[in-house]
Amino acid sequence: MEYTKKIDQKWQEFWQANNTFKVCVKNIKKPKYYCLVMFPYPSSELHVGHGRNYIIGDAVARYKRMRGYYVLNPMGWDAFGLPAENQAIKHNIHPRAWTLKNIKRITQQLKSWGISYDWEKEIATCFPQYYRWTQWLFLELYKKGLAYKKEAPVNWCESCKTVLANEQVIEGKCERCSNQVSQRNLKQWFFKITDYAQRLLDDLDKLKEWPQRVKLMQKNWIGKSVGVTIKFSVKNLDKPLNCFTTRVDTIFGATFLALNYQHPAVIKLIDDSDNKQEILKFISQTKKEEASLLRSQDFEKKGMFTGEFAINPMTGAKIPIWIANYILSGYGTGAIMSVPAHDKRDFEFAKKYQLPITEVIKEPKAKDQKIKANKEEAYEGEGNLVNSGDFNGLASNEAKEKIADFMEQENIGARETNFRLKDWLVSRQRYWGAPIPILYCKECGEVPVEDKDLPVLLPEVDRFLPTGKSPLAEDKDFIQTKCPRCNRPAERETDTMDTFVDSSWYYLRYISPGQASAPFVKEDVDNWLPVDQYIGGVEHAILHLMYSRFITKFLADQKKISFDEPFVKLFTQGMIIKDGAKMSKSKGNVVAPDYIIEKYGADTMRLYILFMGPPQKEAIWQDEALQGSRRFLQRALRLVDKLKNFKEDKNQGDKAGQKELLLRKIHSTISEVTGDLEGDFQFNTAISRIMELVNQIYKSIQQGVEKEIFAQAVDTVFLLLSPFTPHISEEVNSLLGHKGTVFNRSWPKVDPKMLKKDEGEIAILINGKVKDKMVIDFSLSKEEVKTKALAQIKVKKIIADKSPKKIIYVKGKIINIVI
């Protein structure tokens, strides 16, 4: 039997004609399973680097179906936003035409790969029937005071000509085009995600089946800090300067204050300064500094003295107030108390400008030596207080509490919790997005569009190139409208929404994509969600995943849904690397899937991608290894031909116990492959085990084996391969006489009697003398053997070495414990 593309086409047509993967979300009689892969930006056609997560998701969905679940496996398109619009501009085509063209092309590709989507559940965020509900979501947030407009310093990408959320700035660069990001003061729309900061942090503990690194990334981005806001009085200011610190134990070492240039007190502080013009010039230069410098520990710290002083409330000392380029406006108050002896950045700044450095924390076990002006580094750890008045000698933790108590009693400070997380900036000065449903009326002010008037349709425009101003601002027919409150002339908001608003709720829409009167049906959504398995790239750990968690919690608070986390399990796949880099058209290292499918078949590509290595890690694409996958499939298929022509020799007998040997191999392979798929999706090891079974079948038929056992073995091979290579498995399933699709069959079951235990007695020798004996199962894991041995002989450390079947007792030195 030869595997050709015709087999792919035959079974893809069968699945489509028979609605094999269609799901009815109501009246479910089986346990449900919602398997979801992050939907793609339809900005260009797919290459094999994109294919890994879709093929992983498909393997999971097919496996779960065979395990008895009613599987929902939908697909859609994250169609609005910069990815599609930038590519459309590059190709000199309207974003709508470009997007629809790519949706059609990617749909063809996914079908040619044999991905088992329920295409009747398809959604696209750029269609009015979808973004009408994105606008509804905006208005729901607006009603609750969680969507608001304000002027604020924002991230600006000059290349994309739009603002960016903090989460879209990666090491100071735009996450879409890698252009350096600068700061601007603009009036923008925000979602008040900070109201949910504590819940987003606390509920990470609920996510037991998320990768730890993703949870850590979210925890660090939320950035909870517990500390004290301290009041520093300033002679020429009406109110004190407030500085937040997590290290109030170092207050006696605060020798200057440093302000961000945007701090509201700056203008008044420098008003009478002799060098006001120089300070303004410095501020202008700082504005132009790239955001990457402001987020780096190693860039050159610069500043200007304002000419004013503050009073350290604990020492009474006058300390200078500086404007410094390393102080961020987005954290705390935008003003910090600077303690150069115990902060690296403050230390560098103080050394440069010859400011006092006063040690107030003595490092544990350190020599009794003060930090001198020529010392090369700050000590940032905790210890015992020195040079700190009545608090001398206290440990840092105790001092923090007692100093905070004192400050609150004297009304010079107060305990406070701050978060690094800032409100989500959602407005964009670009064309290709959902219009923000707000009107501006001279009489009524800011007015939300009424629900009956949704959707606010995105108009067709000819001029959509980015200029820094929304292209919709040039469309008078779009802008001019009537106020729903007073019926007088009003104007529409011309900014569009960030594409991450569209994707923050799409997993809900799949359940009822054609629903016209609501974004979803609550009863059905509550039945199917949260998503059982979510699959996608770790690059979305902060952006999409954080926003989706926020929106889910908001909708739960409004009683729209009955769960407050969107995804139970999260799997983040690794990238495919070629020629030392991530696949990219710009790098010229992409591999076209069409060529592979034409030459080797879709299942060859699928098998190779799943066999490349652990799916959560990066994998290197090798063309020769792809051919190896093809050879294995052909070798497995030859077994079908051999079975068809097999003539059993009744007189040959069961040489070397081949029947039992092959049966045990069949059932051990089923057990091991099932374990691989139920765990961390170790597809590579699962496929390797199937390859070993194929090898054993060839050995057994050479030695002589019953046809019935041979047929069972071949059937098992292709049942186990079916989630990975569905086309070939369907074909073999048909050739073996089974009716309908292989995916209506059950996953093969294990006969426990066929799982032979490899047992033996071991003698435990310590210092050459037998101390004990025990029988162990050598198929157990090292940890299981260790636990049993510890319980029996009560030693501290035992490591099982299953290969030579001996245990090594570790206690100071290594002593062999022989069998």
- Strand 32-37, strand 70-72: pairing: parallel
Average pLDDT score, the chain:
89
pLDDT at 817 over 50: no
- The single residue listed with the structure tokens 């208005």 is 139
> What dihedral angle (degrees, nearest 10) is formed by the CA atoms of 573, 574, 579, 583?
40
pLDDT tens digits for 524-545?
999 999 999 999 988 888 899 9
For residues 425 and 163, the answer to whether their CB atoms sit within 8 Å is yes
- Report the side by side order of strands in the sheet with 70-72: 70-72, 32-37, 531-537, 567-573
Which stretches within 558-682 are classed as H helix?
593-600, 602-611, 623-644, 658-678
In the chain, the percentage of residues whose pLDDT exceeds 70 is: 88
Q: Which two tokens stand for residue 611?
A: 């066999």
Pairing of strands 32-37, 531-537: parallel
Average pLDDT for residues 433-455, to the nearest whole number? 97
- Give the pLDDT band (50/70/90) at residue 281: very high
DSSP 724: T
Q: Is 615 helix (H, G, I), strand (E, B) or coil?
A: coil
Q: Give the count of beta carbons closer than 10 Å to the beta carbon of residue 689.
A: 20
Band of the pLDDT at 769, cuts 50, 70, 90? low
Q: How far is CA 84 from CA 93, 97, 803, in A?
A: 11, 10, 55
Residue 180 confidence (pLDDT) above 60: yes
How many angstroms separate the Cα of 113 from the Cα of each of 29, 55, 97, 616? 30, 8, 25, 21
Residue 671: what are its φ and ψ, rounded to 5°?
-60, -45
pLDDT score of 555 more than 60? yes
CA dihedral of residues 673, 676, 681, 682 (deg, nearest 10)? -90
Residue given tokens 């070495």 in the structure block: 801
Q: What's the pLDDT score for residue 680?
A: 85
The pLDDT, as a whole number, for residue 778 is: 56
Query: For the segment 117-170, what is each residue's pLDDT rounded down to a tens digit?
Result: 999 999 999 999 999 999 999 999 999 999 999 987 778 888 888 888 776 777
pLDDT for 771:
57
Counting every residue written for the chain, the total comes to: 819
CA distance to 262, 290, 300, 418, 645, per residue, from 345 (Å): 19, 18, 10, 20, 78
Instruction: Identify the band that residue 758 occupies on the pLDDT scale cut at 50, 70 and 90.
Output: low
pLDDT in tens, 292-330: 455 555 678 999 999 999 999 999 999 999 999 998 766
Alpha-carbon distance 576 to 615, whole Å?
10
The pLDDT assigned to 676 comes to: 94
Distances (CA, A) of 176 to 422, 467, 558, 810: 20, 17, 34, 53
Q: Three-state DSSP class for 718? A: helix
Write the pLDDT tens digit of every residue in 50-96: 999 999 999 999 999 999 999 999 999 999 998 889 889 989 999 99
pLDDT confidence of residue 624? 87
C-alpha span between 413 and 231 (Å, rounded) = 6
Q: Can you tell me the distance from the alpha carbon of 117 to that of 793, in angstroms, rounded to the nearest whole number?
A: 55
pTM for the model: 0.86
The pLDDT value recorded for residue 781 is 57
Q: Indicate whether 733 pLDDT > 60.
A: yes
Cβ contacts of 390 within 8 Å, gap of 6 or more: none
> CA–CA distance from 685 to each of 81, 144, 227, 496, 565 (Å)?
39, 51, 49, 47, 32
pLDDT of residue 811: 31
**For position 110, what pLDDT does the model report?**
98
Label the pairing between strands 424-425 and 181-191. antiparallel
The DSSP code for 512 is: S
Q: Which of 22-36, 636-650, 785-799 has the highest mean pLDDT?
A: 22-36
326-376: pLDDT as tens digits: 987 666 678 999 999 999 999 999 999 999 999 999 998 755 555 444 567
Q: Does 679 or 815 have the greater pLDDT score? A: 679
Residue 304: in which H helix or E strand, if any?
strand 303-311
Q: What is the pLDDT of residue 795?
A: 43
Q: Please state whether beta strands 531-537 and 567-573 pair in parallel, antiparallel, or not at all (unpaired).
A: parallel
Assign residue 553 a region (left: φ > 0; alpha: ψ between -120 and 50; beta: otherwise): alpha
Cβ–Cβ < 8 Å for 614, 597: no
pLDDT at 809 over 80: no
Span 214-255, pLDDT tens digits:
999 999 999 999 999 999 999 989 999 999 999 999 999 999
User: Per-residue pLDDT tens for 652-693?
Assistant: 655 556 788 899 999 999 999 999 999 789 999 999 999 999
Q: Tokens 């903090």 belong to which residue?
A: 166
**Residue 455: its pLDDT value, please?**
98
746: exposed, middle or buried (Cβ count in 10 Å: 0-12, 13-18, 19+)? exposed
pLDDT on residue 757: 60
pLDDT score at 590: 86
Q: Which pair of tokens denotes residue 578?
A: 């070629």
Pairing of strands 147-157, 123-124: unpaired
- Token digits for 546? 């954080």
Q: Are the C-beta atoms of residues 513 and 121 closer than 8 Å to each other?
A: yes
User: Is 303 exposed, middle or buried (CB count within 10 Å of its CB: 0-12, 13-18, 19+)?
Assistant: buried
Q: Which residue has the tokens 């426990």?
A: 752
For the residues 446-472, what does the mean pLDDT come to? 93
Please give the single-letter amino acid code of residue 354. Answer: Q
The predicted pLDDT at position 127 comes to 98
- Which contacts of 199-204 are long-range, i.e. CB under 8 A and separated by 24 or more positions? 199/553, 200/421, 200/546, 200/549, 200/550, 200/553, 203/549, 203/553, 203/564, 203/565
Give the pLDDT score at 807.
47
3-state helix, strand, coil in the chain (%, to 5): 40, 20, 35
* pLDDT above 70 for 497: yes
Strand order in the sheet with 619-620: 581-582, 576-578, 619-620
Q: Per-residue pLDDT for 819 more than 90?
A: no
Q: 522 or 272: whose pLDDT is higher?
A: 522
Residue 183 has pLDDT above 50, yes or no: yes
CA within 13 Å, CB half, 616? 12
Tell me how far apart the alpha carbons of residues 203 and 564 are, in angstroms, rounded to a whole number.
Answer: 9
Q: What is the tens place of the pLDDT at every residue in 605-659?
A: 999 999 999 999 999 999 889 999 999 999 999 999 999 988 877 666 555 567 8
